[in-house]
Amino acid sequence: MNEGRTLRGMSTVIFWAEDLDAATKWYTELVGIEPYFRRPGYVEFRIGDYQHELGIIDNRYAPAKSGASPSGVVVYWHVDDVTATYEKLLQMGAQPHEKPQDRGAGFITATVIDPFGNILGIMYNPHYLEILDAQKQA
């Protein structure tokens, strides 16, 4: 059925926070819902059209040799208006990382550093909308 498919889809994105309570409040305000799952040192939200998981883990559980500054992979979350969302994030206390950029063919990206040191990517992605429309019509 899924032979040959190693990566089947994004399951959970994890961010780290020194102050888990503050991060939980900040992301609750951003995504507009409370976490659906809580454990000591961890919270998780289900968000978006596909109920992707966004987890936040207390820094004390970070793997050894984790960097203290933002780096690594950037996950871009689809948004309908990159500029408006970017401005909202800045108003909420995020720091600019990469201002909105037109990447051509309808793709627009931006990144911020959340108040907890994580890179948060936002993107207008026409392919995302095409797939969403195709699934609604199926």
The per-residue pLDDT for range 8-20, each reduced to its tens digit, is 788 899 999 999 9
- The whole-number pLDDT of residue 93 equals 98
Percent pLDDT > 70 in the chain is: 96
Spatial separation of the C-alpha atoms in residues 54 and 11, rounded to whole Å: 9
Provide the pLDDT for residue 91.
98
pLDDT of residue 30: 98
Q: What is the pLDDT of residue 80?
A: 96
What pLDDT does 138 receive?
85
Give the residue carrying structure tokens 């793997």: 63
Residues of the chain with pLDDT under 50: none
Residue type, position 8, single letter: R
